[in-house]
Chains A and B, each alone.
Chain A
Amino acid sequence: MFRKISDFISQIEERILGGSIILMAVILIANVIARKLNNSLSYAEEIGAALLTICTFLGIGYAAKKARHIRMSAIFDLFPLRLKKIVTIITSLVTMLLLFYMSYISLQYTQYIKMLGKVTPALRLPAWWISIPLSIGFLLGGIQYLLNIFINLKNPEVYIGTEKIADDVSTETVFDVIEEKKEENGEDN
């Protein structure tokens, strides 16, 4: 059940992350072409900035799941297994609490801009819309660390992200996947 919900969220997150990057590229390119035709898209900047905000904050949970957030692991790696597990649970707990707190104050911030009633300069949309990804993103991040505590309590291994076990150094990137596929197809460039 947990797994299902978590996988479902990840799929949405993947779409959002990938989609916002591609959309960003498309809008920026379209803007240059439009400008050369004397028809600048005034909203390109606004949408671009919004996409970057979306991509930044909504990816927190996904990056946590894949344990991609930058951390200094040099000392952690020297700990014995038992200590690693205890430290990981404490880290996840504190991280979760801070992220939930951030989610709460982000919501306060959203309410504050809503109260001011500002609109964005080009599209004339309510300015508070842009700050929504913060609350949601921090919340998703917090949930991911909560799941991480459970998974560490249930399993013998040390999970630094819900999909990543410590000591398992092989970080599989998208490039490996593509590479493998190429080898399967017997392609060589």
Chain B
Amino acid sequence: MLTMMLIVMISLLVLGFPMMITMLAGTILAVVVYMPNVEPFIIAQQMMLGVQGFVLLSVPMFMFAADIMVAGKTANRLLDFVESFVGHIWGGLAITTAATCTLFGSISGSTQATVVAIGRPMRDKLLKRGYDDSSVMALIINSSDLAYLIPPSIGMIMYGVISGTSIGDLFIAGIIPGLLVLLFFSLYSIYYARKKQIPLLPKASWKERYQATRKSLLTFGFPVIIIGGIYSGFFSPTEAAAFSVLYAFIIEVCIFKSVKLKDLSKIAISTGIVTTVVFVLVGTGTAFAWVISYARIPQVITSTVLGTDPSVLKVLLTVNIAFFLGCMLVDPLVVIIILTPIFFPAAIAAGIDPVHLGIIITLQVAIGSATPPFGYDIFTACAIFDKPYLTVIRKTPFYILMLLFAALIITLVPGVSLFLTELL
């Protein structure tokens, strides 16, 4: 049954079917052909249940807040802020890009929004400085992964919902790993700029720095609302998401007036489409996960891959590889929905902290979303910058190596993820 499903799904995927149809076809095939005692309407039931959780409401809310900020000029204000501080050192502009992606990640939970918000203004600047297009693309796509690790993160929300792990803890735990990746990228940017002799920018004066800081100051209210609000128990994650919408509205519409009230409905429609696209996949992923668990496939997979009583290292390594490979083929959220129930019980049995596991999974799906062939960010970049697929991916391998190295550290040293949660 599994072989048949895989053959059908992979061939549909390659032909360019929408991913939801690929998953639905596999699910329907399994239910109609191989499970005669199951009512087919279970698929509809599972799809509906998949999108019912209250916590899931935080996803469209975080996206809406980020979309309002993208339509306004928040990203540019953040860029000016970072640039005024690090712009003058070697690789300053590249570091600015990576660091701003990190900051923007604290508003937006998705990598695509970050590609749009930071990639657009930075690409022209970087090209003018003498970076070539492929390395600019690689930098932008991979830096956007940081948005997935820095709270809020849609991947973490999904993992938290499925595994029952505290989303607040996951959010906190993602901060240090995110900064670690940023450090790697910055070091590489310095090395690259020195090697290529990219000209330096003039150093900003303290007056300019003050002004840039003042303009971007309000943006830093987001992490306060989201992390502070959730951690102090004032908000649930969903409410924190709704309040970041309110906050974005106040900043962009009332204070900076960079978004008009009537633009808001257009932004909402755009968020609505993305919500449809994402949640239809969440629904189909849930139905698919139900089918394979009904057929007891997870048990077969874990017992053949992991054997009985596996070591912690073996489980972690398997999780890393499985999520990385999965993301090369399908959307990161779908991978989380399908693979988490398969590996979570084995990981907990081996004594792995659920928060640590969540961070590893989030990092791997973030890497996957920038890795060919499927990596969704690559397609986003192709579409936004109107560049062929191959130009976009040419320089990504080195970044992927750096990210995998970071994944190795984060996997082997649980403290990197758990330090802050234990502290608080």
Binding site for B on A (CB under 8 A): 14, 16-22, 24-25, 28-29, 31-32, 45, 48-49, 52-53, 55-60, 62-64, 66, 68-77, 87, 90-91, 94-95, 98-99, 101-102, 105-106, 108-109, 112, 130-131, 134, 169-171, 173-175, 177-178, 189
B259-299 residues with Cβ-Cβ distance < 8 A to A are: 259, 263-277, 279-283
Check B48–A18 contact: CB distance below 8 A: no
CA distance A145 to B243 in the complex (A): 38
B245 at the interface (CB under 8 A from A): yes
Pick from A55, A112, A130: contact of B41, CB below 8 A.
A112
Could you give, for residues 377-402 of chain B, a 1 whenever the CB lies within 8 Å of some chain A CB and a 0 otherwise? 00100111010010000000000000
User: What are 10 A-B interface contacts by the 8 Å CB criterion?
Assistant: A17-B275, A18-B265, A18-B271, A29-B239, A52-B56, A55-B276, A56-B51, A98-B28, A171-B384, A178-B266
Is there an interface contact between B235 and A24, defined as CB atoms closer than 8 Å?
no
Interface centre among A56, A74, A108, A189 (most CB of B within 10 A): A56
In chain A, what residue has the closest Cβ to B54? A45
Whether B16 and A48, one on each chain, are in contact in the complex, defined by CB atoms closer than 8 angstroms, is no
Residue among A21, A69, A73, A174 making CB contact with B277, cutoff 8 Å: A69
B256 interface residue per 8 A CB criterion: yes
Beyond A48-B54, A57-B276, A73-B16, list 15 extra A-B contacts (CB 8 Å).
A14-B269, A18-B265, A18-B271, A28-B241, A48-B57, A52-B52, A55-B272, A63-B273, A63-B276, A68-B274, A69-B20, A105-B40, A170-B386, A173-B270, A175-B116
Verify B16–A102 contact, CB threshold 8 A: no
B19 within 8 A of A: yes
Determine which residue in B40, B41, B53, B372 has the highest number of CB atoms from chain A within 10 A of its CB, and name it.
B41
Measured between C-beta atoms, what is the minimum distance from B184 to chain A in Å?
28
Partner of B48, one of A14, A45, A72, A134: A134
Which one of B68-76, B148-156, B192-200, B316-324 is at the A interface? B68-76
| B414 part of interface (Cβ distance < 8 Å) | no
Task: Tell me whether A52 and B242 are in contact (CB under 8 A).
Answer: no
Q: Give A22 to B52 CA distance when docked, in angstroms.
A: 18
How many A-B pairs have beta carbons closer than 8 Å: the answer is 215
Structural contact, B269 and A17, CB atoms closer than 8 A: yes
Nearest to A14 among chain B residues (CB) is B269
Chain B residue with the shortest CB-CB distance to A138: B44
Considering only CB atoms and an 8 Å cut-off, how many residues of chain B contact the other chain? 79
Q: Assess whether B238 is in contact with A28, with CB atoms less than 8 Å apart.
A: yes
Please, how many angstroms separate the alpha-carbon atoms of A106 and B276 in the complex? Answer: 17
Residue among B53, B71, B372 with the highest chain A CB neighbour number at 10 A: B71
B246 touches A189 (CB 8 A): no
**Any A CB within 8 A of the CB of B83:** no
Q: Does B25 contact A (CB under 8 A)?
A: yes
Q: Tell whether A178 pairs with B263 under 8 Å between CB atoms, given A69-B19, A72-B16, A189-B258.
A: yes
| Contacting residues, chain B, for A55 (C-beta < 8 A) | 60, 272, 275-276, 279
Enumerate B4-34 residues with CB–CB distance to A below 8 Å: 12-21, 24-25, 28
Contact of A24 among B25, B61, B263 (CB under 8 A): B61
Tell me whether B44 and A52 are in contact (CB under 8 A): no
Interchain CB contact under 8 A, A56 and B275: yes
A174 x B267 contact (CB < 8 A): yes
